[in-house]
Structure formats: structure tokens, C-alpha cells
Amino acid sequence: MSATADFDPNSIGLLDNNIFGLPFDAGQSKVILLPVPWEVTVSYRPGTASGPDDIFDASLQVDLYDPDAPGNWKQGYHMLQSEEKIYEMSNNLREKAEVILDAMENGLKPENDEDLSLMQMEINAGCAVMSDWVHETTLKWMKQGKKVGLVGGDHSTPLGYIQALGEMHESFGVLQIDAHADLRDAYEGFTYSHASIMYNVLKEVPAVIRLVQVGIRDYCDDELNLIENSNGRVRTFFDSDIKTRQYEGASWKEIALEIVESLPRKVYISFDIDGLDPKLCPNTGTPVPGGFETEQIFYLFRLLHASGREIIGFDLNEVSSGDTGEGIDAITGARVLYKLCNYLAF
């Protein structure tokens, strides 16, 4: 019997079902979602390790009709169970990272302290274990013919997945929606820092022939130098430049088409929720004034799909509901995730 035989898409989301209240198991689903509850290297506020569970809970409130992709959900979306070992490892290493960060804020360098240096090595090794696990897990599902989306966690989580895609595809581009450039080399001494994800992608995944960044508004001199000296491999649409062009008469359509034309035929989407206006994600780890409305990004996705480009995967990261669990963060994340799933399912 079909998984949807007794399923009413217009009814309340059932707790016994999976993501978005859908009745599909992994075998019945075209899109597999891998939750990665990880936040070891966050620089400011914690909470993103709970992001996958928060999004799952909020997803039951998402109506299934999407005018951009009506009925795509019928192909099946399924979120895997969170791995408790990953969550526990994150909590353990996060405590040690906080010790290091507190010491650094007081002027102490880990390389000058044996205990701090050992902790830093342990954290880097643990982050590598997480990345390897993501690589193996995503590769396994892709080899079964599934399309995969990753749900973090902090933005360090998708490196292993992007490496796996590099083994499955000869070349592709990354569309990064983000407030931050994430091009720092081992930020704060952490090789796999959330602020180093795109630096590591460029370094370790030669199949990524173009990185197109959109909404960047918080970055350092080193990151700007890397962008300017990338020989075109990195194209950055800074938030201030986008806004200035709009103030002076350019339409979002005009700018969005330019973004799309900067991408190769195959595209991976890396969506840090802080790329949006922080009113939509006030509890994210490092909010930055500025950013987009969700509909602006959904319009960009619409143009990306209409261009004939193939979306080969995505990650959604940095969603946090904060200490109280209140706010719009999780429902924003759930709606962004649903849109990403719908476009991946084409």
C-alpha cells in the first residue's frame, strides 16, 4: 500500500509521522535529511546543536502546499534519527572549547599552555571524526540513489557532505546564503571552525569550481584578500553592495539573475540562517543586522530552478531557539527547510 493512501495533507501534522508530518520512511523517500546536532566551535551563543530537533518539532506546523513545487512532497522526505553519540561528543568538546575561548579572551595563547594546547588538539580531532561520519553517512545514502539535505548544527557540519559530493560529481558550485564569509583559516585555532567552513571547502574539495556568496556583511581583511585573490573562484555579493544597488534603482530580479548566472550548472546550497534579517532568527549564534526576507531568497531559488541548473544538495545551519525555546527561529528554519526539500526533489 502507498505511504500516502490514508494520509490527509490538509489535516493536522501527526506526531507519529516524520518531518513535516509526512508518512514516509527512509526507503520510501527521495530526500533524506541528516540531522547533525553539533556546535563545538560556536564563537558567541550556543543552541544550534538543538536546531535539528527544534526544526523537526516546528515542521508539523508547515502547510504542505507550495506554489513553487506543488505536490513535490509526494516523492517523500524523511529525517533520520539524531545520533546521540554526536550530540554527546559535541557537548563534551564544547565545554573544552569554552575553556580555551575564555583563556584567549584573557590574553592567553593556547600554544603557550600545555593543557590548552592538548584540549585544542582533542577538539580538532573530534571535529574531524564528526566530519568523517557526515562524509560516510551522506555518501552511503547518495549511493542508494537518494538526494540528501543536511540539517545542523553549526556551519562546520557540512564539510564531509560537500567532500562526498565531490566524489559523486566532477564539478559543481556552492551558493552560500550567509551573513559571514566563513573564509578564515582555523579560526580561534579550530581547524574545523564554523567560521572556516568555506575556507576548508575551497582547500579540500577541488570539485567546487565556484563559490558564490550572498548577503555577506561581517568579514575580516584576510577573508577579503582571499576573495579578491581567488582568480574568480569566489564571487561575493556583499549585503551593502546589494542594498546600495537597490537604493539606486536596481531591482532584486536584476541582482538575483546576476547571482544565478555566476553559478555553474550543478549547484549545492549552503544556507546559514543568519543570512536572513535577524528578526527572523533572533536566537542564531551570531546575528548581524541586515540580511534578507525569506521571500527574497525563495525568489532567488525560483530563478535558479528556472535557469535549468540542478540543485544537487543543501545544508541548513545555525538555527537556534535560544534558552527559552521561544521565538520565530524554528518555524523560520522549518519553512526554509521545506522550500529546500521541494527544490531538491525536482
In this predicted model, what pLDDT tens digit does every residue of 69-114 receive, in sequence order? 999 999 999 999 999 999 999 999 999 999 999 999 999 999 899 9
Domain 19-344 CATH superfamily: Ureohydrolase domain (3.40.800.10)
User: What sign for the dihedral angle of Cα 27, 28, 30, 34?
Assistant: negative
The one-character DSSP state at 82 is P
Q: Which amino acid does the sequence have at 119?
A: M
Smallest CA-to-CA distance from 102 within 115, 85, 86 is with: 115
Beta strands 310-317; 208-216: pairing state:
unpaired
- How far is residue 126 CA from its own chain's centroid? 20
Task: Determine contact, residues 207/171, Cβ cutoff 8 Å.
Answer: yes
Instruction: Show the cell assigned to 196.
Output: 572556516
Residue 271, pLDDT score: 98
Q: Which amino acid does the sequence have at 302?
A: R
Task: Determine contact, residues 78/19, Cβ cutoff 8 Å.
Answer: yes
- The residues of the chain scoring below 70 in pLDDT are 1
List the domain boundaries for the chain. 19-344
Please enumerate in sequence order all residues whose Cβ is within 8 A of that of 267, keeping only pairs 6 or more positions apart, or say none: 172, 173, 174, 175, 304, 309, 310, 311, 312
**pTM of the predicted model, to two decimals?**
0.97
Beta strands 208-216; 77-79: pairing state:
unpaired
Residue 243, pLDDT score: 98
Please enumerate in sequence order all residues whose Cβ is within 8 A of that of 266, keeping only pairs 6 or more positions apart, or say none: 169, 171, 172, 173, 309, 310, 312
Residue 1, pLDDT score: 55
Any idea how long the chain is?
346
Residue 126, pLDDT score: 97
